[in-house]
Amino acid sequence: MDGVELDGVEPVRGCLSIVVLGASGDLAKKMTFPALFNLYQQVPAYTVQFGWLFIQGFLHSDEVRIFGYARTRNLDDEFRYRLHRFLDHDKVVSPAQTEDVSEFLHLVKYISGSYDAEEDFRSLDKEINEHKSSKVQQDGSSRRLFYLALPPSVYPSAYKMIKLFCMNKSKYGGWTRIVIEKPFGKGFGLLEKLSNQIGELLHEKQLYRIDNYLGKELVQNLMVLRFANRFFLPLWNRDNFDNIQIVFQEDFGTEGRAGYFDEFGVIRDIIQNHLLQVLCQVAMEKPVSVDPEHIRDTEVRVLQSVCPIQSEEVVLGQYEGYCEDPTVPDDSNTPTFATIILRTHYEKWDRKALNSRKSEIRIQFKDVPGDIFESKKHGRNELAIRLQPSEAIYMKLTIGVKQPGLEMDTTQSELDLSYKQCYQGITIPEAYECLILDTYDSGHQQHFVRRDELTEAWKFFTPLLPRIENGEIKPILYKRGTTGLLEADDLVQKAGYVQT
Ligand code: NDP
Ligand code: BG6
């Protein structure tokens, strides 16, 4: 590929320019900037341990400059004022952090420009170079991270502009990396077209496709839990597991994003990406090593092994009132709820506007062979991994313990690893913090989606999606705030799930 800059040496120190394109938008305000702020003000554990005098956070103020870029003609001050208000009030930072917010905002500069104008990107490049010159005394290398917090329709022109005008050209080395947000395509055909377009401009190594579920603490923990513990290794297979549920639910509706949501629906918004990534972590074989590419190879194999979806194993729903949003057509067929059985023995549930918000994995074991305590009557052993809220790993023992006392009674109990109790005083980082840190620090792509993973993920949802869009499969209406759909409960029970 022509024009790939000096990327052989990948420094983790030196001048760092982070450019957030689409800085005026929802994601930038709610996720990207707060994550950058937290990285700035959190101190790595080892610096505390060694009591260094000059303590730096995960973003070093003497190296970094953050550029917010968007078309809106804001003044730099006004942009920083808005960010200040958001970080200070909406994020409710502590009084001690208020000072940090002000210091952090000194690192931020707003630049107004469009996503397809050469002169605007030339000016952006000039700004980045000026920042680099002010830091050149350190080692002269230059790291450029472009975060595309933009609608995907704008990606092609933004890639082109970055490629033409804003790549790192420092003779001292460095890199240019681009972070992109989901949705990655809308179906298999479009994905291939987009991937080819990107592939002509950028190397896969320069591209970080964010899926925030891959940054969640308990998702990242799955590999360790499974492959570093002797007692899980022989158990983690179909001989012992009856079924696995991957559950995602929210207690709110489309919340101002109905226009986007109606075009994509719950399968594209959540299942095809977040929940499939979780599935990969649950179902993958042991990778050859912890090398990020070995791990991603193993994940791809999971996706390749899933059987085609049967439409009789799909239940869709739409909450009442969804179509009342002015940006949604009155006759929209878009599902806000979906239960899909993936064979063999994987289930995924996903629903919006229900009674509570949670994401969890429930692995249900087969019944005990030669069951002398009749434990079957009381349910099954389950291993639950709660991703949010209140992160926890717990094992349901059905009646697997003796009731303490003189009688020989049995009782249901749990082996419980609740993070709040076990790791008191430790703040679990937000997914975006972990992922953004990877992009400029280690550069490892283990927690980012590779092109072939996406291809496989779209392949098996693509036959189902047109059938929903042409009305062949219709969503069932449900009331906001309910616990779910009876039809979906029946479906998962038929597939082997036992209420425990
Ligand atoms: P927005 O719709 O808020 O768009 C971000 C910015 O892009 C806008 O402020 C606007 O800035 C610019 N923009 C919007 N539409 C256009 C257009 N048609 N042409 C050119 N520029 C445009 O998006 P979000 O911030 O919600 O999301 C950004 C990306 O992140 C999307 O890909 C989205 O799918 C993804 N995402 C968002 C999540 C969220 O919670 N918001 C969650 C997960 C992923 P300006 O006009 O000032 O240039
Ligand atoms: C986003 C979806 O990717 O994930 C949203 O676009 C959804 O619709 C969100 O609300 C859920 O993420 P989390 O981290 O809050 O579970």
With vertex at residue 442, the alpha carbon angle to CA 441 and CA 445, rounded to the nearest 5 degrees, is: 120
- Amino acid 483 reads T
Mean pLDDT (the chain, rounded): 88
User: Which atom belonging to ligand 2 lies closest to the Cα atom of 257?
Assistant: 8
- For the stretch 119-133, pLDDT in tens is 999 999 999 998 877
The 10 Å Cβ neighbour count of residue 127 is 17
Q: Is the CB of 336 under 6 A from ligand 2?
A: no
Chain center to CA of 209: 9
Is the pLDDT reported for residue 1 higher than 50? no
111 lines ligand 1 (CB under 6 A): no
Q: Are 461 and 272 in contact (CB under 8 A)?
A: yes
Which atom of ligand 1 is nearest the CA belonging to 25? Answer: 9
Note the pLDDT tens digit of each residue in 207-222: 999 999 999 999 999 9
From the list 84, 89, 106, 274, the catalytic residue is 274
The question of ipTM being above 0.85 is answered as yes
pLDDT of 25 above 70: yes
Annotate 451-463 with DSSP letters as a single string.
Answer: HHHHHHHHHHHTT
- Can you tell me which residue has the tokens 């949010």? 388
Q: Six-digit token pair at 246?
A: 């991957």
Would residue 84 show up in a list of annotated catalytic residues for this protein?
A: no
- Could you tell me which of 347, 279, 346 has the C-alpha nearest to residue 315? 347
Cβ of residue 26 lying under 6 Å from some atom of ligand 1: yes
Query: Which pLDDT tens digit goes with each residue over 113-172?
Result: 999 999 999 999 999 998 877 765 555 678 999 999 999 889 999 999 999 999 998 887
Which of 170, 231, 238, 158 lies closest to 198, judged by CA? Answer: 158
Question: What is the separation, in whole angstroms, between the first and last Cα of the chain?
Answer: 56
Separation of alpha carbons 481 and 251, rounded Å: 7
- What residues have CB less than 8 Å from 141, skipping those under 6 apart? 9, 11, 13, 14, 15, 170, 172, 173, 174
- How would DSSP label each residue in 113-174? --SS-HHHHHHHHHHHHHHHHHHTTS---EEEEEEE-S-GGGHHHHHHHHHHH-S---TT-E
Residue among 336, 182, 184 at smallest CA distance from 250: 336
User: Which of these ranges, 279-288, 386-395, 407-416, has the smallest mean pLDDT?
Assistant: 407-416
Q: What is the DSSP letter of 498?
A: -
- Written as six digits, the tokens of 269 are 């918004």
